[in-house]
Structure 1
Amino acid sequence: MSIKVRPLGDKDFFPWLGLFEGYSEFSKSELTDEKALRVWSWIIDKNHDLDGAVAVDDNGDFVGFTLYRAFPRTLSGDVGLFIDDLFVTSAVRNGGVSKSLLEFAREYAKAHNYRKLQWITTADDKPAQKLYDEVGARTSWVTYEAEV
């Protein structure tokens, strides 16, 4: 099976939605219609920072996606690309699709003169960490969040 990774487009909503539902379930996050439509509107709005790509198999089925956005790196005086989400269906997981999506994001960053890729994962997602240790460097930063 070969995989093609390409940017998400206006007509990709329903196949992407199926993946986003799977991602939400995997992440144990409730997905509402409102939330899905809001995220999709961000993706297709050329004036919004969020962008994305999809992995498509030989049959034209969507088997993975990634969402990313530019962010300023103040101490470096440049811009990086932050990968917010990366998801691959269980049927093709561990088959190189995640790596292809990360490589697409890397090429996107290069094309836009962004200097770094950054992403996070959960502390217990060992399979993802194994891949991420191969394609990137684990940092010493600790992430915090607070409700507003």
Structure 2
Amino acid sequence: MDIRAVAEADRAVWAQLYAGYAAFYGVAQTDAMRQTVWGWLMDADHGAEGLVAEVGGVVVGIAHFRSFARPLSASVGGFLDDLFVGPEARGTGAAEALVQGVADVGRKRGWTLIRWITAEDNYRARGLYDRVAEKAKWVTYDIKL
């Protein structure tokens, strides 16, 4: 399993995986929305970055992440926005490898933690997350704008 930065040549398989991620969460996502996110990932000046998990030359999973300021601790952390592994590759360790890939990026950059959220009923993913990270005590709120 190789974990590497997403590249221009990954666009088609990335789009399929990202559409699968949106479908998993029941989010209506258009080609235009994916084009916007792809543009962010390909723009070195934008904060969003991506990794892919590759097995035998085939991309089987994606992760999107970004840095964020942590004023209370006067430090910088990493936020794992999206993590998805195609159904055919689940159970291969790709999701854990992607999480560790983001953590490796954070270590190199001096980040103090990697944070992410998941749906409460995403039990399969939470099994992994409970193994590789500490569940935070924070409750998440959203204001729709």
With the shorter chain as reference, the TM-score category is over 0.9
**Aligned partner of 1:36 among 34, 51, 71:** 34
Separation (CA, whole Å) in 2 of partners of 1:126 and 1:14: 29
How far has the Cα of 1:95 moved from its partner?
Answer: 2.0
How far has the Cα of 1:52 moved from its partner?
Answer: 0.6
- Residue 80 of structure 2 aligns to a residue whose secondary structure is strand
Q: Percent identity?
A: 34
Q: Residues 29-108 of structure 1: matches in 2 within 5 Å?
A: 29-58=27-56, 60-108=57-105
Q: 5+ unaligned residues in a row in structure 1: which ranges?
A: none
**Aligned partner of 1:115 among 109, 112, 136:** 112
- Residue 18 of structure 1 aligns to a residue whose secondary structure is helix
* Structure 1 residues 87-126: Cα deviation after superposition (integer angstroms, max 9, x where no partner): 0011111221110001100100011111100000000011
CA contact (8 A) 1:19 1:62 kept: no
Runs (4+) of structure 1 exceeding 2 A deviation are none
Separation (CA, whole Å) in 2 of partners of 1:132 and 1:142: 17
The letter for the 2-side match of 1:92 is: A
- When you count helix as a share of all residues, which structure comes out higher? 2
| TM-score for the superposition, normalised by structure 1 | 0.95
**Aligned partner of 1:20 among 9, 18, 21:** 18
Q: How many residues align?
A: 145
Q: 5+ unaligned residues in a row in structure 2: which ranges?
A: none
Separation (CA, whole Å) in 1 of partners of 2:144 and 2:20: 26
Q: Does 1:131 align with 2:128?
A: yes
Separation (CA, whole Å) in 2 of partners of 1:97 and 1:63: 8
- Residue 91 of structure 1 aligns to a residue whose secondary structure is helix
Cα RMSD, aligned residues only: 0.8
Separation (CA, whole Å) in 2 of partners of 1:87 and 1:69: 16
Separation (CA, whole Å) in 1 of partners of 2:115 and 2:102: 10
Separation (CA, whole Å) in 2 of partners of 1:147 and 1:125: 22
